Amino acid sequence: MAFEEYLLPVGLPLLLVAAASLLRKPKATLPPGPKPKLLIGNLFDVPTQLAWLTYTKWRKQYGDLVFFGVFGNNFLILNSLKATTDLLDKRATIYSERPSIPSIRLMGWEFSFSFMSHTDKWRGGKFVPFDMSSSTDETINIIAQKIVSSALSPRRSSLMLHNLLTTPEDFLEHVEQLTTAIIMAMVYGYDIKSLHDDPIVHLQQESIKRLSESAIPGRFMVNVFPFLRHVPAWFPGAGFHQFFKDTVKLVGQMKQAPFDFVKQNMQSGSDRQSVLRELLEHNEAHGGSVEREEDMKDIAGVAYAAAAETTTATLMVSVMALAMHPEVVRKAQAELDAVVGLGSLPGFEHRSELPYCEAVVREIFRWRPITPVAIAHATHEDDVYDGYLIPKGTIILPNVWAMVHDETMYPDPDTFKPERFLNADGTLNSDDLIIGFGFGRRICAGRHAADATLWAATVSLLATFNIGKAKDAAGKEIEIEDVFTDGMVSYPKPFKCSITPRNELTKQLVSNINL
């Protein structure tokens, strides 16, 4: 056989294979990240304090996508708004799952739709709706809208102002009382008199505190080694079992106590209205399902938990930012005086006429986000993005902190500067996205209520009080350190500031409030 005849049957397949290999798409690789160690992966690379700061540093080293693994669990940090939007918004069908977090269930918090699987009753449309057909998210949104209508309730906002006039040094407590009072009144028709000695408020605060602490990396090793939940409580290092047992009881009481309050009011003929009462009356009119009552108890507890802590923390950031930036206070007050008038309280009808105040609120949300790492998502299936493989089951951590401190979007990001949201002519620009509210199908349903409450409280405070740094005995200003707690929700650590009536007119305005 001639050489050419031999080459044809043997060489042609080889040439075809070679050509196919050249045309074949390269196999996707995992995104970059810290180099794992044998067996343990990146166990010792995972930050245990203020994780968002480490994740942001990693962005400079590895990029917008940072991948790491711990004992077979895959994690992907999203450090840019583009990557987050591309995946969580545009590919929501793949990225709307929640990871399984053992401590959530062990503490009795699995009823919270924030942590539910996308395939559970969160999506099923059977979670206590007003019209018995809405989804969980829609029901929470209905509650949120009702809270919006109460955010500038004369009695509630005025109570905060009155308290600031009498005991301004307790401003952090007054802020917390405002948010708690609004939510408790709307959800349960319950009026609180004090944060310290109200048993129902104590149950809720302690339950939420434990939930927030559980999100700190390394707080519970059962989240890293799920099999530890089967280890007996007497085993060394298994003390978390008692903590979880106590928390389950606490969370049960947190849901039951205000529920019983509403039921008792209904039975006694009280005309006290609330969202929960509306749900219960609707349920009774349609047969009185006990199962639905349990769902209602859950959703009311979720509504409080989802709003109280985050809104309180954001209002604390508001006070801190204003106290640190007197020039912002002066500009906002000048706008309020021109639009509303000195000695009058602003209302929602003035909001569109107050662009600088609106920019202040946007900057409060951006400057120090109280959820610097959004609640984790998880992938429903394998995906490829930007040439990188993202395996099924990967836990997605949106690093909100990195996004709002992206210098390409927000130059000099650590500076509190409302002007970044204004055009040259003083009108608002188009940047109205509050990144801290989450992404995709798991975006915060109560975001409108949170936004309205922050706006209402901030402009009411600005209209009536001067806010600045406190002074020591020698008259020297006490600097405010913008340091924050760790956890699922990050609070400003306690700080001192000065809150005084702007003048005699505003002092009389607040003094004459009928509580």
Q: Greatest CA separation found in the chain?
A: 112
Report whether 84 contacts 401 (CB < 8 A). no
Output the DSSP codes for 454-477: HHHHHHHHHHHEEEEE-B-TTS-B
The Cα–Cα gap between 499 and 199 comes to: 30
Phi-psi region of 389 (alpha: psi -120 to 50; beta: other; left: phi over 0): beta
Cβ-Cβ contacts under 8 Å for 349 (sequence gap 6 or more): none
How far is Cα of residue 388 from the mean position of the Cα atoms in its chain?
A: 29
Q: 10 Å Cβ neighbour count for 473?
A: 5
H/E stretch holding 92 reads helix 92-95
Q: What is the DSSP letter of 352?
A: G
HSE toward the beta carbon, residue 464, CA cutoff 13 A: 26
**CA nearest 417: which of 348, 375, 360?**
360
Q: Rounded to whole angstroms, what are the CA distances from 58 to 46, 149, 377, 480?
A: 11, 42, 20, 28
3-state secondary structure of 97: strand
3-state secondary structure of 383: strand
Report whether 303 contacts 275 (CB < 8 A). yes
The Cα–Cα gap between 32 and 450 comes to: 36
User: Does the annotation flag 444 for ligand binding?
Assistant: yes
* Helix, strand, coil distribution of the chain in percent, nearest 5: 55, 10, 35
The Cα–Cα gap between 128 and 275 comes to: 11
End-to-end CA distance of the chain: 108
The Cα–Cα gap between 401 and 366 comes to: 9
| 448 burial via Cβ count (<10 Å: 0-12, 13-18, 19+) | middle
**CA nearest 370: which of 338, 333, 396, 401?**
401
Cβ-Cβ contacts under 8 Å for 509 (sequence gap 6 or more): 343, 344, 345, 464
State the binding site.
444
State the binding site for heme.
444
